[in-house]
C-alpha cells in the first residue's frame, strides 16, 4: 500500500494522474498488454487516492532503450505543464530503460508531481526514492544486457553444434516450413545452371549490372524475402558475396553497438569475424572459384565509394534520416511519383529521381537541394507576411473552436460509444455463430477483423480521452501566427536538421518537373508546392476550417533564369522605343553583350509566334534534341510509374 496523505489535488477538486504504458512491439506482444498496464496503474492510483481521478494516458510501442522516442517529449511537456498530481507506470523500464528515467522522475519532483513505479518499489514520496530509482534502472539495464548475451551465445552454439539458428533463404534453395537446421535445406536443381552462368559472366565482365540484366532477361526470380521484383547490380553483388552458394554457411558477420546519445542499436561489422560451417550438399558452385571472383571484385572496386576525410568516413555514425530537406521523401518526381535521392550525377548537394537510377523514369535531371530549400523558405515567409488579409476570419474560427471544444469532444465520444455498442453486438453474434456452427476459416477471418476493429476503437477512445483532458493552445490572431513563423525561420537554417523538420511540417507536397525555354537550351527544374501553414501549430488540425484557410499551392522555379530570359522584358520595352541591341545593352543594369540582347529579342518573338504567355514549356516526355539526357535510350530503360500514381494537373 502507498501513502494516501501525500496526494492533494492541485486544482482543489479532482487530481489528475498521468499513466505511461509501453510495449516493445515484438512479434508475440499484443495491444492487450498496454491495456493491462493501464489497468494496473489505475489500481495503484485508487490505492493512493480513493476518490474520482482524471487520467491522461500515453500508451506506445517502442524499444525502451531509445531516447529519441516522441512520447518522451510528450511526457516532458506534460510534466512541465505542472497540471499532473501523479505519474504512474508499472516499472521504470516502461518509461525508459536507463538512467534517463531517473532524470524524468526528478523533473516530476521539481514540478510537485508524485511519481510511482510499483514493480520497482519506487515512490518519490519516500526520501530514498532516488537511490531506489537508480538501483531499479541498473537492474533493468543489466537484465537487458545479460539477456542479449545469453540469446547470442545460445544461437551461436546451436549454429556451430548442429547448424541451427538458420537464416532466411535466398534464391536457389528450397526450405521446408518445418526446417530448423541447415541439413534440412535443399538446393533447387533448376537454379544451379543460372547461378553458375551468372558467376562465369561476373568473372568475365566484373560487372554486376550485366549479370542483373542476364538474370532479368532469363526471368530468374529474386529471393522470397526481396522487396524488389527484379535484379539490379547491388543485389547481384550481395548475392554472389554470400558464401552459402559454395556450401559455406556463415553466422556472426555483424554485431550491434549501442549509440548512447539516442539509445539506438547500430549494426557494425563484427571485429571477430563470422563463423562458418561446411555444408557440401548446399553448394551450387565451387567455393574456391566464388572466393576468387569476390577478391577480383574487391580489387576492382577498392577505389570506389565515399572518400575518407582525415582518415575516417565523414558519414560514420550519421543516421540517414538526419539529412537536409528535401531529401528523405521531402520531394517527389512529377513524372513517375518516386522520391528524390541525393547525389544526382555525382553532385552530392543535388537530388534526382530514384526511378531514373533504376531506369524506370526518364527524368535523370538533378536539382540543387540547398537552392530549393531556400526558395521554399522565401515563399513561406512571403505567404506568412500576407496572413493579415484574413485576420477577421482567422479570429472567428479560433473563437468558435474554443466555444465548441467541449461539445465537439462530447459528440465524438457519443459517436464512439455507438460504434462500441455496435461492435459488441457484432462480437456476440460471432460468438453465437461459433457455438452453433463450430470453428471454420470464415469464423477465423471474422475474429481477425474484430480484433483489428477493437484495437482501432481502443486507440480512438484513448485519443479522445487525452484530447478531453487537454486545452487547445492556438494563436489568437494572424499577427501572433506570423510572429511564431518568422521567429522560427530566423532561428533555423534550412540546411540544418531542425530546419528540415520545420519544412516537413509546412510543405505537404513538393513535386518537381522540368521546363524548357521555347527556343531550346538546357532543361530547368520547377516545383509544384503545397504549403500547410498550420503545420507549425500542433492543435490547428483540431479547428474545423483552419487547415483549409492556411493551405496554399505555389509554383516555384528551382533555378536561376538564363540571361536571355532575365533581360527579355527590359530588352523588349527598350526595343519598342527604337533602340538597337547595342544601346539596349548599355541601358540594362546587367550590361549584357549585344549578342545576348539579340537572343532575348529572338526568344520573345518565338514566344509570341507560339501564342505563349510565358517562354517556358513544360516537358511531358524526354526531348530528342537534348544530348545530356540519355538514360531513357538504354536497353534496360522501361518507364514504370509507381503503382497507383496519377499525375496531378499543373
CA distance linking residue 616 with residue 256, whole number of Å? 53
For the residues 41-60, what does the mean pLDDT come to? 85
With a pLDDT cut of 90, the percent of the chain lying above it is: 39
The model's pLDDT over 398-441, given as tens digits with 9 standing for 90+, comes to 766 655 555 556 677 778 788 888 888 887 877 777 777 666 66
Which fold would CATH assign to domain 16-144?
Rossmann fold (3.40.50)
- How confident is residue 242, by pLDDT bands cut at 50, 70 and 90? very high
For the residues 183-207, what does the mean pLDDT come to? 94
Asked if 367 contacts 345 with a C-beta cutoff of 8 angstroms, the reply is: no
- How confident is residue 628, by pLDDT bands cut at 50, 70 and 90? confident
Task: For cell 521504470, name the residue.
Answer: 92
The model's pLDDT over 456-481, given as tens digits with 9 standing for 90+, comes to 887 777 766 666 666 666 677 778 77
Is 314 or 344 the better-scoring residue by pLDDT? 344
CA distance linking residue 568 with residue 562, whole number of Å? 10
- Extract the C-alpha cell encoding 582: 547595342
For residue 222, is pLDDT > 80? yes
- Extract the C-alpha cell encoding 261: 546519445
Which residues contact residue 636 at a Cβ distance below 8 angstroms, ignoring those fewer than 6 apart? 213, 359
Q: Among 155-169, 355-369, 377-391, which stretch is predicted with the lowest mean pLDDT? A: 377-391
Q: What is the DSSP string of 619-648?
A: -SS--TT-TT--GGGSTT----PPTT--PP
Is the domain 163-301 a CATH 3.90.1750.20 member?
Answer: yes
For the residues 352-366, what does the mean pLDDT come to? 89
The model's pLDDT over 256-312, given as tens digits with 9 standing for 90+, comes to 888 888 888 888 889 988 999 999 999 999 999 999 999 999 999 888 777 777 777
Which residues contact residue 409 at a Cβ distance below 8 angstroms, ignoring those fewer than 6 apart? 464, 467, 468
For the residues 556-561, what does the mean pLDDT come to? 92
What is the greatest pairwise CA distance in the chain? 98
For residue 4, is pLDDT > 60? no
Which residue, among 133, 34, 25, 44, has the nearest Cα to 86 in the 3D structure? 44
CA distance linking residue 217 with residue 231, whole number of Å? 10
Q: Among 148-152, 304-308, 349-353, which stretch is predicted with the lowest mean pLDDT? A: 304-308
pLDDT at residue number 93: 87
For residue 55, is pLDDT > 90? no
What are the structural domain ranges in the chain? 16-144, 163-301
pTM reported for the whole predicted model: 0.63
SS3 content of the chain, % helix, strand, coil (to 5): 45, 15, 40
pLDDT at residue number 547: 78
For residue 1, is pLDDT > 50? no
Amino acid at each position: 500500500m502507498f501513502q494516501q496523505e501525500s496526494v492533494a489535488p492541485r486544482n482543489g477538486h479532482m487530481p489528475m494522474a498521468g499513466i505511461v504504458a509501453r510495449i516493445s512491439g515484438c512479434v508475440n506482444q499484443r495491444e492487450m498488454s498496454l491495456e493491462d498496464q493501464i489497468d494496473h496503474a489505475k489500481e495503484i492510483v485508487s490505492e493512493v487516492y480513493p476518490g474520482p481521478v482524471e487520467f491522461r494516458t500515453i500508451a506506445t510501442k517502442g524499444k525502451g532503450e531509445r531516447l529519441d522516442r516522441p512520447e518522451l517529449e510528450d511526457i516532458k511537456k506534460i510534466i512541465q505543464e505542472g497540471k499532473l498530481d501523479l505519474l504512474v507506470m508499472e516499472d521504470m523500464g516502461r518509461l525508459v530503460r536507463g538512467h534517463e528515467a531517473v532524470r524524468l522522475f526528478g523533473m516530476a519532483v521539481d514540478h510537485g508531481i508524485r511519481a510511482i513505479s510499483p514493480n520497482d518499489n519506487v515512490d518519490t514520496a519516500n526520501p530514498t526514492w532516488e537511490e531506489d530509482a537508480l538501483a531499479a534502472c541498473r537492474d533493468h539495464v543489466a537484465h537487458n544486457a545479460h539477456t542479449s548475451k545469453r540469446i547470442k551465445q545460445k544461437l551461436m552454439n546451436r549454429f556451430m553444434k548442429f547448424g541451427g539458428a538458420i537464416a532466411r533463404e535466398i534464391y536457389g534453395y528450397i526450405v521446408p516450413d518445418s526446417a530448423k537446421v541447415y541439413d534440412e535445406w535443399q538446393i533447387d536443381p533448376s537454379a544451379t545452371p543460372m547461378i553458375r552462368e551468372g558467376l562465369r559472366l561476373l568473372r568475365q565482365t566484373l560487372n554486376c549490372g550485366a549479370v542483373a540484366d542476364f538474370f532479368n532477361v532469363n526471368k530468374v526470380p529474386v529471393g522470397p524475402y526481396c522487396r524488389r521484383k527484379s535484379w539490379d547490380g547491388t543485389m547481384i553483388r550481395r548475392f554472389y558475396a554470400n558464401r552459402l552458394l559454395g556450401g559455406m554457411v556463415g553466422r556472426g558477420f555483424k554485431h550491434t553497438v549501442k549509440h548512447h546519445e539516442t539509445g539506438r542499436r547500430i549494426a557494425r561489422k563484427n571485429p571477430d569475424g563470422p563463423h562458418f560451417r561446411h555444408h557440401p550438399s548446399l553448394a551450387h558452385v565451387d567455393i574456391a572459384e566464388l572466393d576468387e571472383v569476390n577478391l577480383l571484385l574487391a580489387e576492382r572496386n577498392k577505389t570506389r565509394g565515399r572518400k575518407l576525410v582525415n582518415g575516417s568516413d565523414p558519414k560514420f555514425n550519421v543516421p540517414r534520416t538526419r539529412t537536409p530537406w528535401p531529401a528523405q521523401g521531402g520531394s517527389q518526381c512529377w513524372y513517375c511519383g518516386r522520391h528524390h535521392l541525393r547525389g544526382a550525377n555525382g553532385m552530392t548537394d543535388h537530388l534526382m529521381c530514384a526511378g531514373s537510377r533504376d531506369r524506370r523514369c526518364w527524368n535523370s535531371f538533378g536539382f540543387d537541394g540547398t537552392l530549393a530549400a531556400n526558395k521554399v523558405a522565401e515563399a513561406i515567409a512571403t505567404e506568412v507576411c500576407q496572413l493579415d488579409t484574413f485576420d477577421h476570419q482567422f479570429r472567428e474560427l479560433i473563437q468558435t473552436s474554443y466555444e465548441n471544444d467541449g461539445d465537439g469532444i462530447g459528440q465524438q465520444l457519443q459517436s464512439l460509444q455507438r460504434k462500441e455498442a455496435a461492435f459488441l453486438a457484432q462480437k456476440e453474434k460471432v460468438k453465437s455463430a461459433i457455438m452453433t456452427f463450430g470453428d471454420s476459416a470464415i469464423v477465423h477471418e471474422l475474429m481477425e477483423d474484430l480484433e483489428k476493429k477493437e484495437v482501432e476503437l481502443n486507440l480512438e477512445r484513448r485519443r479522445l480521452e487525452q484530447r478531453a483532458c487537454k486545452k487547445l493552445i492556438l494563436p489568437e490572431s494572424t499577427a501572433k501566427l506570423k510572429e511564431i513563423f518568422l521567429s522560427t525561420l530566423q532561428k533555423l537554417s534550412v540546411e540544418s536538421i531542425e530546419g528540415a523538420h520545420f519544412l516537413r511540417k509546412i510543405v505537404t507536397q513538393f513535386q518537381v518537373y522540368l521546363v524548357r525555354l521555347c527556343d531550346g537550351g538546357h532543361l530547368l527544374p520547377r516545383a509544384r508546392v503545397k504549403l500547410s501553414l498550420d503545420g507549425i501549430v500542433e492543435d490547428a488540425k483540431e479547428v474545423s476550417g483552419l487547415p483549409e484557410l492556411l493551405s496554399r499551392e505555389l509554383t516555384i522555379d528551382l533555378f536561376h533564369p538564363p540571361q536571355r530570359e532575365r533581360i527579355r522584358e527590359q530588352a523588349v520595352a527598350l526595343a519598342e522605343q527604337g533602340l538597337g541591341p547595342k544601346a539596349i545593352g548599355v541601358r540594362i543594369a546587367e550590361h549584357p553583350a549585344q549578342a545576348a540582347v539579340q537572343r532575348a529579342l529572338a526568344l520573345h518573338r518565338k514566344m509570341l509566334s507560339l501564342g505563349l504567355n510565358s517562354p517556358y514549356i513544360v516537358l511531358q516526355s524526354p526531348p530528342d534534341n537534348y544530348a545530356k539526357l540519355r538514360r531513357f535510350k538504354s536497353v534496360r530503360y522501361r518507364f514504370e510509374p509507381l503503382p497507383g500514381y496519377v499525375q496531378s494537373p499543373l
